[in-house]
């Protein structure tokens, strides 16, 4: 007969611990007390102070403990999305501790936010959103993005696709696009298994392309156009603008005082980031950025419009691509007008294109011609 769960404990479904001394994988439970306790069969294997916990830049949601001397090899892998928000809320330094000069930047941010609240009163929410979004500290954006990512995977039951050859092809496409995108911080691009044809850019530099959208793409340029469009949203901080504009005064004040990881803020942020559509202006700017980026690589812009048109003929879902990114005749015309033709090599050859298309499959496929 198993023991009753302890208060603050979460069972071992989806929690894996590596102690750093061996390759042994342990299924454990987590107890949230004064420290994060890692427990197996009633015995505490390790206790981690929340402020020492860092998120590992790897697929999924993995954690390690960082000590004053050096980072340990021990790590936790959390495969249950319900755990992610609990970790995010308790661990203040998931992305690392404050860098020198960050406090000064935070002061500037607070002053700018205060001024923007005043501007909001006099000139309205769009004024404040446009001016405050570029000033939001990266740490705030990362925490919002992590919270939204957890909700995204829970809502869509979406898991990342990591077939080895496909992951390599995706990395190649990502490197080609980002080499000409001039982002302040590199973006992380993943394919999520989902029956919804969509793509999203979240605060903190994360881009997700859903597998159904990938399956409907007929050429590498179509997928590249979608990713370039989402990179444009990252470059323009459109997700933060949307959050501030939608949340209004209360959310702006919450940002000002740092309340971006409370339960209410997380729910609101997740719903806004996942469900709300961008403005026509934001879509036009992201399209323009995508067209310019594709031109720098010697690739056409029109395939993005071709993919959008193809999806428009089949989509009815509330969370589809065209719900978040409304398609208009003006958008299609602008993409066609911005098309500079093909002057550079394909972004992916036939073999890598076939591998990318099969990234969510568990069997090898024969390459298909890249058109």
Give pLDDT, residue 71.
42
Dump the DSSP string for 238-297: HHHHHHHHHHHHHHHHHHHTT--SSHHHHHHHHHHHHHPPPPHHHHHHHHHHHHHHHHHT
pTM of the model: 0.65
Could you report the average pLDDT of every consecutive run of 10 residues in the chain (371 residues)? 42 72 82 92 90 74 66 74 81 67 50 49 53 70 77 77 92 94 90 91 91 96 98 90 69 55 53 69 92 97 93 55 63 92 96 96 52 43
What is residue 293's predicted lDDT score, i.e. its pLDDT? 97
Instruction: Give me the pLDDT at residue 291, please.
Output: 97
Q: What is the DSSP string of 100-151?
A: TTHHHHHHHHHHHHHHHHHHHHHH-HHHHHHHHGGGS-HHHHHHHHHHHHHH
Structure confidence at residue 4 (pLDDT): 39
Domains of the chain: 9-90 (2.30.29.30), 142-357 (no CATH)
What distance, in Å, lies between the first and last C-alpha atoms of the chain? 61
Query: Per-residue pLDDT tens for 334-370?
Result: 999 999 999 999 999 999 999 999 999 864 444 444 4
Assigned token pair, 352: 């890598």
Max intra-chain CA distance, the chain: 70
C-alpha count within 13 angstroms, C-beta hemisphere, residue 345: 6
Residue 66: other Cβ atoms inside 10 A:
16
Closest CA to 194 of 24, 42, 30, 320: 320
């Amino acid at each position: 007969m198993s023991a009753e769960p302890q208060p603050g404990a979460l069972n071992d479904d989806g929690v894996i611990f590596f102690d750093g001394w061996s390759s042994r994988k342990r299924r454990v439970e987590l107890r949230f007390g004064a420290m994060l306790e890692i427990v197996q069969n009633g015995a505490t294997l390790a206790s981690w102070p929340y402020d020492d916990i860092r998120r590992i830049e790897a697929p999924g949601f993995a954690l390690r403990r960082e000590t004053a001397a050096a980072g340990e090899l021990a790590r936790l892998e959390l495969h249950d999305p319900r755990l992610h928000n609990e970790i995010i809320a308790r661990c203040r330094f998931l992305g690392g501790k404050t860098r020198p000069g960050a406090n000064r930047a935070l002061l500037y941010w607070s002053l700018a936010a205060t001024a923007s609240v005043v501007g909001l009163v006099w000139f309205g929410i769009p004024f404040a959103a446009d001016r405050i979004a570029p000033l939001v500290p990266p740490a705030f954006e990362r925490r919002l993005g992590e919270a939204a990512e957890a909700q995204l995977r829970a809502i869509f039951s979406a898991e990342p696709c990591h077939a080895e050859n496909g992951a390599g092809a995706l990395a190649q496409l990502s490197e080609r696009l980002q080499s000409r995108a001039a982002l302040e911080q590199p973006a992380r691009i993943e394919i999520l298994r989902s029956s919804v044809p969509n793509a999203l850019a979240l605060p903190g530099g994360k881009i997700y392309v859903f597998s159904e959208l990938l399956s409907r793409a007929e050429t590498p340029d179509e997928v590249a156009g979608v990713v370039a469009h989402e990179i444009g949203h990252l470059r323009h901080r459109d997700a933060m603008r949307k959050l501030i504009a939608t949340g209004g005064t209360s959310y702006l004040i919450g940002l000002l005082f740092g309340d971006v990881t409370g339960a209410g803020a997380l729910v609101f942020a997740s719903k806004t980031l996942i469900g709300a559509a961008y403005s026509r202006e934001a879509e036009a700017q992201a399209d323009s950025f995508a067209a310019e980026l594709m031109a720098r690589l010697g690739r056409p812009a029109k395939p993005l419009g071709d993919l959008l048109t193809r999806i428009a003929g089949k989509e009815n879902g509330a969370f589809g691509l065209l719900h978040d990114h409304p398609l208009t005749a003006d958008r299609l015309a602008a993409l066609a007008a911005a098309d500079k033709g093909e002057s550079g090599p394909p972004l992916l050859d036939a073999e890598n294109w076939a591998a990318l298309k099969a990234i969510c499959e568990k069997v090898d496929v024969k390459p298909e011609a890249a058109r």
